[in-house]
């Protein structure tokens, strides 16, 4: 069973943070962002944007530092430790709790040696409203791309082929997001994203300083259609703001 199929079938609402996100810029805007933010001037032709409903098991746009320079490419969302017996672990490893990274065998090496940045311009969460759950899209007020902290790993299959995978780190929610969920992705500032990718930074205390809730003053959210509940839905309608007219609504 593919991870994509699994997440197209089950109810994601509120169970995972972060379980879906967007990167809705076009290729030219992405190139400009990579050049200005990471000094990256070459981008693989495999990268396709915009994306309106990125789901676990799919390929995500990630930046790593190879020891000499920053590089961008596609990596599979769903972390598989190098010591895993098979690929099924990725089903439950799309997110990693930042507070316990140094304690977990799957992550304690990666947090020192294999940090990455996963690019997005919004993520989805499901807000409880009485007996239903309303999907919302959370983004920056300026609607620009933001870097989420991640870890990556290389898993070697029995046939010798290699699979590169990643997880998105989470932290406690800021004041804005806490009304929706108690966790949020670790979103990096301009300064912290540079440090996050710096391979010379290996001290636990220095790394932990980077994994803090992003300031709520720069963020916002709005309700979207239930189309995002199904990973097969991948179009502009997923991010369209909808009007909630029912009485006693949260909006």
Higher-confidence residue of 117 and 3: namely: 117
pLDDT recorded at residue 214? 98
Query: Contact 48/16 with Cβ under 8 angstroms?
Result: no
pTM of the predicted protein model: 0.90
Q: Which residue has the tokens 């920053």?
A: 70
Residue-averaged pLDDT of the chain: 90
Q: Which CATH number fits domain 3-226: 1.10.620.20, 3.40.50.150, 3.90.1680.10, 3.30.70.20?
A: 3.90.1680.10
Tell me the per-residue pLDDT of 102-130, one tens digit each, with 9 for 90 and over. 999 999 999 999 999 999 999 999 998 77
Please state, in angstroms and as integers, the Cα–Cα distance from residue 128 to each residue in 14, 123, 223, following that order.
8, 17, 12
Confidence band of 17 (pLDDT split at 50, 70, 90): low
Quote the longest CA-to-CA distance of the chain.
58
Tell me the per-residue pLDDT of 136-185, one tens digit each, with 9 for 90 and over. 999 999 999 999 999 999 999 989 999 999 999 999 999 999 999 999 99
Q: Which range (7-16, 53-62, 203-212) has the least confidence? A: 7-16
Quote the DSSP letter at residue 67.
S
Gap between the terminal Cα atoms of the chain: 38
Confidence band of 198 (pLDDT split at 50, 70, 90): very high
Query: Contact 148/187 with Cβ under 8 angstroms?
Result: yes
β-partners of residue 163 are 155
Query: Contact 51/30 with Cβ under 8 angstroms?
Result: no
Is residue 1 scored above 80 in pLDDT? no
Confidence band of 90 (pLDDT split at 50, 70, 90): low
Query: Is residue 89 exposed (0-12), middle (13-18) or buried (19+ Cβ within 10 Å)?
Result: middle
Higher-confidence residue of 197 and 3: namely: 197
Query: Tokens for 217?
Result: 């003053």
pLDDT recorded at residue 92? 75
List active site positions. 18, 125
């Amino acid at each position: 069973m593919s991870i994509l199929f699994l997440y197209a079938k089950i109810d994601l609402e509120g169970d995972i943070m972060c379980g879906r996100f967007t990167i809705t810029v076009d290729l030219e805007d992405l190139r400009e962002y990579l050049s200005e933010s990471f000094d990256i001037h070459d981008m693989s032709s495999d990268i396709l944007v915009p994306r309106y409903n990125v789901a676990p098991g799919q390929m995500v746009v990630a930046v790593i530092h190879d020891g000499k320079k920053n590089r961008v490419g596609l990596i599979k969302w769903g972390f598989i430790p190098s010591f895993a017996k098979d690929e099924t672990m990725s089903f439950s490893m799309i997110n990693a709790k930042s507070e316990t990274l140094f304690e977990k065998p799957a992550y304690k090496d990666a947090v020192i040696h294999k940090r990455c940045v996963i690019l997005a311009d919004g993520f989805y969460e499901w807000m409880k409203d009485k007996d239903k759950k309303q999907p919302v899209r959370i983004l920056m007020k300026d609607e620009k791309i933001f870097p989420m902290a991640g870890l990556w790993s290389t898993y070697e299959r029995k046939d010798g082929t290699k699979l590169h995978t990643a997880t998105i780190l989470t932290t406690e929610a800021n004041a804005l997001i806490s009304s929706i969920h108690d966790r949020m992705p670790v979103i990096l500032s301009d300064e912290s994203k540079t440090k996050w990718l710096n391979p010379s930074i290996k001290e636990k205390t220095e790394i932990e300083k980077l994994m803090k809730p992003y300031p709520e003053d720069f963020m916002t959210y709005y309700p979207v259609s239930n189309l995002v509940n199904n990973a097969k839905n991948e179009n502009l309608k997923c991010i369209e703001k909808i009007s909630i007219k029912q009485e006693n609504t949260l909006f």
